[in-house]
Structures are given as structure tokens and as C-alpha cells.
Structure 1
Amino acid sequence: MADEAHLSGIAGRYALAVFELALETKAIDAVGRDFLTLKGLLAESADLARLVRAPVFSRDDQAKGIRAVLDAVGADALTTRFLLLLCAKRRLFLLPAIIRDFNTLVEREKGEIAAQVLSAHKLNDAQIAELKRALKEKLGRDPLLNTEVDPTLLGGLVVKVGSRMIDSSLRSKLNGLRLAMRGASH
């Protein structure tokens, strides 16, 4: 049985249910791919996001719209049944939170942990490998890195793992130094 800690309410219960079904039917990878595709489509399409979130659409309209999207992307049968159930229960608005919680459960199952990495410049393969090694050593699990460039950073990295943040950016060090200097002058 998967650990239910850190899952969010109703969305967490739905995520746990679809995760356990996917585990039983060996469809974890297929459902994970479908959810990744849906997450991207929700970010790209204001119309799809509105269909998912707006309560003005009927169950039938949501089901027709979601079925069309799932058919177009060739979604797994379990993903399709699950999303149609969400439509029938008027819970489709929970989809983004369900996807997040499902991914958390998959990471735990695989012994992985997601890490958001912001850097001043694009990291090369050697830097990514070293960062993965250091995070695995510190966290005890394989990190799944999501790297982004943040031009507002002067240098260094900001790494977020769950609710923890490791900030080794030059900007935060300079701000800390500035605060320390202000304190010393009083």
C-alpha cells in the first residue's frame, strides 16, 4: 500500500486510487505518460484548462471534450476510464492536483525524488551529473531534475526538493552579506 502522507485531500485519494490500479495492471508508465501529456496540454490550451476547471460545463460536455482529447493523444484505457469517472463525479477540476500527487506516488515507488533546479546559465551534462550525484548522496534517493535557467540569478543554483530549498545563488549570498554588514554597523 502506498504511503498517503503528503497527498492533498480528495485529489490525493483519487491519485492513490488510480496509482494502485495502474500498479495492479502494470500501467504506471502509460498513465504517467498520459498525465504528463495532459499537464502540458493544460498549460498550453486555455480552452482545455477552462473545460477542466469551469463548473459551467455539464458532466456530458466535460466527458465529450476529455474523451476527444484522450482519443487524440492515444491515451491508455485506464487513463480514459479514470478521467471519465472524474467527469461523472464532477471532480475534473482536481486533475492538476491529482497529476501532481500521482507523480509523487510514482517517485516514491521508484525510489526517486523530484528536484526543481534554477541556474543562471544552462547546465552542461557534467554539471547535471555532478548535481544528481550530490543530491542522491544528500537525499538518499535518485533525483529527477527539472532544470530551468533564471537570468535574474547572478550565479550559482537554487534547488527545491519538496518543501526544502537549497539556495547557493550568488544573489542570496550577496543579500546575506549585505544584511550582515548592516547588522555590524549598528
Structure 2
Amino acid sequence: MRGAKLIVTIVAKRYANALYEYAKEKNNVEQILDELKSLVDLYESSADFQELVKNPLIKRSEKEKVFEELKNRNAISETLYNFLLMLTEKNRLNLIVEIYMHYRILLMEDRGEVDAYVKIADDYDDVLKKEIGDVLSKVTGKKVNLNIEIDKTILGGFVAQVKSNMYDASIKGQLRKLKETLLQV
């Protein structure tokens, strides 16, 4: 199963790369990101839209009608409309969420940005959020978009994941390191 997921991710990345390069040529990278985000939001909130995307038994012409209606309502551009038609033709429409995620990453990389997933022990204010962001920006050399979650088990400090790197500045982590050091003595 893990191998199948890896293949899907590689395919989604290829489609996202192609869409991103095409959007750069058309000078509408941001617009396409917004449109993809709206489609993903619709996918996540509408069982009918999920069914349309996932169900291979729904005729291609029916799917195309939905996308044409979205285009006619100016919910999606001609660029994204054509891309969705291609995904439908290739039976890859089910990759739309992964394509969005990879497309967003490509745009962030071009901007010198990165997502950071941070766990802190207690409520936080804007000052603490800025301090954590500054520390991670300095370490990564990029502008950091923080996604903060409260996790009382870390006791204090924070734990952050930026791409595949983990930064543990938590009290729990420091206690674990101290225990490991003491056990080695």
C-alpha cells in the first residue's frame, strides 16, 4: 500500500509541476492557487463533488459539464478549466487534492517560504508566535508560515517540524536527552 501511495504522489507532483509551469507562462500562478484551493474546499465540504471527482462510473461528459459551469460562473479560469478537462480525460481527477498541495509547495519555494508545524505546551500570544517564527526563519533561512497546535505533553518550549527536519526545544525533549545522558554514564 505504501508503494501505491508513493506512485500517486509522484504522478500528482508531475501534474502539479506541469500546471505550475503553465501558470507561470500565463502569469497567473496566484490565481490558479486560489482556484485550486476553492476546488479543494468544495471537495472537502461537498459529498456530491467528492463523488464526481472519485467515481469513475460518472461519465466524463457529466464531469466536464460541471467544470464548464464553474468556468461560466468565473469560479475557475480557462487555464484551470483546461487542466481539469485533461485530468478528467486521463482519469486523474482524483489527484486534485494532492496536486493542490504540491502546487502550493512549488509557489512557496519560489517565494522562499516554508511551512512549519509547531507544537507548544500552552496558549500563545502574537509575541511568542513571532519569536518562534523568527527562530525558525533564522534556522531555515526562509520565511516561515507557522501552523501551531497546543500539546500539553511537551511541558514547555516547542517542537517544530519543517519539511523533514525536527527541532525539539521542549522541556520534555530536554528531560529525555538528560535521561539518555545519565543512562550512558
TM, length-normalised to structure 2: 0.78
Instruction: Write the deviation string for residues 36-89 of structure 1: whole angstroms up to 9, x where unpaired.
Output: 222323332333233222323222233233444566672233222212221122
In structure 2, the CA distance between the partners of 1:157 and 1:59, relative to structure 1 (3 Å rule), is: farther
DSSP-derived class of the 2:76 partner: coil
| Higher share of residues assigned helix | 2
Q: CA deviation at 1:150?
A: 4.1
Partner of 2:77: 76
Aligned positions, number: 178
Corresponding letter in the other structure for 1:126: V
| Equivalent in the alignment of 1:90 | 91
Tell me: CA distance 1:154–1:68, structure 2 relative to 1, closer, same or farther (3 Å). farther
Q: Partner of 2:103 in structure 1? A: 102
Structure 1 Cα separation of the partners of residues 21 and 82 of structure 2:
14
> Corresponding residue for 2:36?
35
Distance in 2 (CA, whole Å) between partners of 1:51 and 1:117 is 35
Residue 127 (structure 2) aligns with? 126
- 1:160 deviates by 1.6
3-state SS of paired residue (1:56): coil
Whether the 8 Å contact between 1:122 and 1:148 is mirrored in structure 2 is no
Specify the alignment match of 2:54 in structure 1: 53
Does the CA-based 8 Å contact 1:120-1:150 persist in structure 2?
yes
Conserved 8 A contact 1:157-1:169: yes
Could you tell me how far apart the structure 2 residues matched to 1:143 and 1:97 are? Answer: 21
Stretches of structure 1 lacking an aligned partner (at least 5 in a row): 1-6
| TM-aligned CA deviation for residue 116 of structure 1 | 1.8
1:115 deviates by 1.4
User: Structure 1 18/183 Cα, relative in aligned 2: closer, same or farther at 3 Å?
Assistant: same
Alpha carbons of structure 1 residues 137 and 38: separation in structure 2 relative to 1, 3 Å: same
Q: Provide the rounded CA distance (Å) in 1 between the counterparts of 2:125 and 2:180.
A: 34
Opposite residue 74 of structure 1, the aligned amino acid is: A
Instruction: Judge conservation of contact 2:121–2:156 (CA < 8 Å) in 1.
Output: yes
Tell me the TM-score normalized by structure 1.
0.78
Distance change in 2, residues 1:119/1:53 (3 Å):
farther
**What is the CA-CA distance between 1:153 and the residue it aligns to?**
5.0
Structure 1 residues 89, 43: closer, same or farther in 2, change over 3 A? same
Q: Judging changes above 3 Å, is the alpha-carbon distance between structure 1 residues 148 and 61 closer, same or farther for their aligned structure 2 residues?
A: farther
